[in-house]
Amino acid sequence: MTGRRVLLVAHTGREHAVEVAREAHRLLTSAGIGVRVLADEAESLGLEPVEVADDPDKAALDVELIVVLGGDGSILRGAELARPHGTPVLGVNLGHVGFLAEAEREDLERTVGVVVERSYVVEERMTLDVEVRANGALVTRTWALNEASVEKAARERMLEIMLDVDGRPLSRWGCDGVVCATPTGSTAYAFSAGGPVVWPEVEAILVVPLSAHALFARPMVVGPSSRLGIELVPGYDGRGVLWCDGRRTIDLPRAARIDVRRGDKPVRLARVHTAPFTDRLVAKFDLPVLGWRGAADRKNGNGKNGRTS
């Protein structure tokens, strides 16, 4: 298959997603754009004509875009395929909130039209690089788009951890864990744990303790060049686990150290809408804004600090 092509990724465990994938395939191929799918999804999707990628590590190679049909979990899966090759990801939400998605199901035809016309824009989202060490030896390296969380492995036991920032000790907590998140991930796990919402263009790393038994255990925001160290305190019996984006998990050795820093490679997200992030927050979280008079009142000279009523 030559010419333009996209990688189509779908949540094939849901019949609705399969139906939408078939419609997207029809729209794309009708416009002369070839479609590639993952080998483990090809049979369920039943698309023709289609190119099948047998090696998932190379599935995003030489495609102009990954179109993901599903919720945030599916989009994070698409990000895993895309990041090594710098391929942009465009999410069409078939889930609930779908904060990473750029379009909704009812916008599919328009969204495909934007792809055909190449009128989308691409923005880079900061990632995290994560290393796990035990006794000074590297155990594994991984990464995250939303967050890397160190959590207790057993419900009945807490973790005892020490946090350091840029090589200096900050605090020791008995806790359920700690979340290190990007601005993209500030509306995900970190938000549920009480962290702040951070606008995507802000470069920073969030640190959100989970149920910490300590006076100083508030969410913190550090600079993008800061390096975070999370140590499981030696001699403490609690076992830990590392989760990255809720998808990749690593059992942590006793007395492990987890180093978190800004990722070397961003994830590139394709945008088809120009609405500001504020509007996305309002829409996704169904925030109450009825009665807002700010813009009109300021224009007429009647506004008072743009407050809503």
What does the DSSP 8-state code read for residue 234? T
Q: Rounded distance, CA 285 to CA 298, Å?
A: 26
- Cα(125)–Cα(1) distance, rounded to whole angstroms? 31
Distance (Å, whole) CA 197 – CA 190: 9
**Bridge-based pairing state of the strands 137-144 and 267-271:** unpaired
Neighbouring residues of 282: CB distance < 8 A, sequence distance ≥ 6: 289
Identify the CA nearest to 262 among candidates 165, 130, 81: 130
CA 93 to chain centre: 14
Q: Where are the alpha helices (DSSP H) in the chain?
A: 15-30, 39-45, 72-82, 108-117, 189-192, 277-285, 294-300
As a whole number of angstroms, the distance between CA 134 and CA 104 comes to 44
Q: Is 57 marked active-site?
A: no
Q: Catalytic one among 57, 72, 286, 297?
A: 72
Report d(CA 126, CA 276) in Å as an integer.
18
For the chain, how are helix, strand and coil distributed in percent, rounded to 5? 25, 35, 40
What lies within 8 Å, CB to CB, of 245 at 6+ separation is: 76, 79, 144, 145, 146, 147, 185
Are 40 and 59 in contact, with CB atoms under 8 Å apart?
Answer: no
Question: Among all residues, which ones are annotated catalytic?
Answer: 72
